[in-house]
Amino acid sequence: MAKKTNNSEDRTARVLDKLAEMGNQAIRDIDRNRSPKLSIPVRSLSNVSFNKRRSIIELGSSKQDRTFFNVGMAKKFMQTYLVAQACKQLLDEGKTTSIRDLYYMVKHTIGDSKVNTVDEQAESDACLEDLEVTIDTLREELNLFASNRGAMVGKVTLVDSGDTIDCRRMGSGGYSIPSIVEPDVIQFVEIDADFVLLVEKDAVWRRLNEDKFWKDYNCVLLHGGGQPSRGVRRMVHRLAMEAKLDVFVLTDNDPWGYYIYSVIKQGSINLAYESIRMAVPGARFIGLSAGDKEQFDLPSDDKLRLNKTDVIRAKQIKNYPWFQKKHWQDEINLMLKNEMKYEIEALSSKGISFITEVYLPHKFANPKEMLD
């Protein structure tokens, strides 16, 4: 099933135009004797909304000005333009690099002073995120990548940077999902699967892979190594939208697992401006659920008491608009009432392959037990 790819040269040209306009605007401000400024969309909960019709989180219109002739903003203003300059260099040279290397590209001491342009990577990372949202461009389109996180196995054949890869034959480790999975880098050649199963943890993914769950149930099996990286989320989105595959998410029974599911389904607050390219509104939560302890007679020894941080987080997500469905309110309330949480590995107490042979087959045979 070959997919038509985007033209990477056109994409690069568009991004370079946006960077050039950013620089030209600063020059125009200077020519008019005005303080150069950037209007940066606010990336916080206060500036996001939940679009019920589309079932995704969207960024609002609130912006914050960052001006050069302001003592409190001048350094951040300069850092943002240094990051933009480094990204332009990468695009001009047709090279990619890591966000860690970007930090070193923009770090230097200013003149004869003892002041550095940036002191910690967190500073350049924050400016990169500001740049992304300001010019409406993903870091991957700026030729920046993060370390690979997550793996995939299943009946998928793809081309990655010119190399053909059969995800059926990637051994125990699977295909390592890169951070840049855009169509000009990765093209799907054949997808012969019925659905996608995204697992929170590597250890659980390895059990399912070893048991050949993906083969028996004809699915694409992925893990995100905890909170899925942008590359993993984008890969799941592409499989769902381009191959029309259903998506199921398997996480721990705790507030953090619930949130991982919601990030896949609705998008995240920090990346609300890219929900349309990452969220999968049709994704369903297959577990672990708060009621699975009784449903599958899990031993009490495997339960963990909710700590204060867990309780605070559970109450936070309970108030999010995208968790207002009755079944999610009931789910979170039950977890809070029980004051307990379970990790997926608790299923192993029923047998090393219990998750493969009993738990997941039961869930797929009883879809009403899944949450959406």
Give one DSSP letter per residue of 183-224, joined into a string: TTTEEEEEE--SEEEEES-HHHHHHHHHTTHHHHTTEEEEE-
The pLDDT of residue 177: 92
3-state secondary structure of 158: strand
Q: Judge whether residue 281 has pLDDT over 90.
A: yes
3-state secondary structure of 29: helix
Give pLDDT tens digits for 238-255: 999 999 999 999 999 999
Are the beta carbons of 280 and 242 closer than 8 angstroms?
A: no
Give pLDDT tens digits for 96-114: 899 899 999 999 898 888 8
The overall average pLDDT reported for the chain is: 89
Catalytic residue numbers, as ranges? 104
Rg (CA), the chain: 23
Give the mean pLDDT of 38-58.
85
List, in order of start, the domains of the chain with CATH numbers: 8-34+71-145 (1.10.10.10), 151-369 (3.40.1360.10)
Pick the closest to residue 231 from 285, 180, 301 (CA basis): 180
The pLDDT of residue 146: 77
Are the beta carbons of 370 and 248 closer than 8 angstroms?
A: yes
The pLDDT of residue 196: 97
Q: How confident is the model at residue 1 (pLDDT cuts 50, 70, 90)?
A: very low
How far apart are alpha carbons 224 and 355 in whole angstroms?
Answer: 18
Q: Judge whether residue 303 has pLDDT over 80.
A: no
Q: How confident is the model at residue 7 (pLDDT cuts 50, 70, 90)?
A: low
Give pLDDT tens digits for 134-190: 988 888 889 888 777 899 999 999 999 889 999 999 888 899 999 888 888 899 999
Residue 295 dihedral angles phi and psi, to the nearest 5°: -55, -40
Classify residue 38 by burial, with Cβ atoms within 10 Å: 0-12, 13-18, 19+.
Answer: buried
Q: Judge whether residue 6 has pLDDT over 70.
A: no
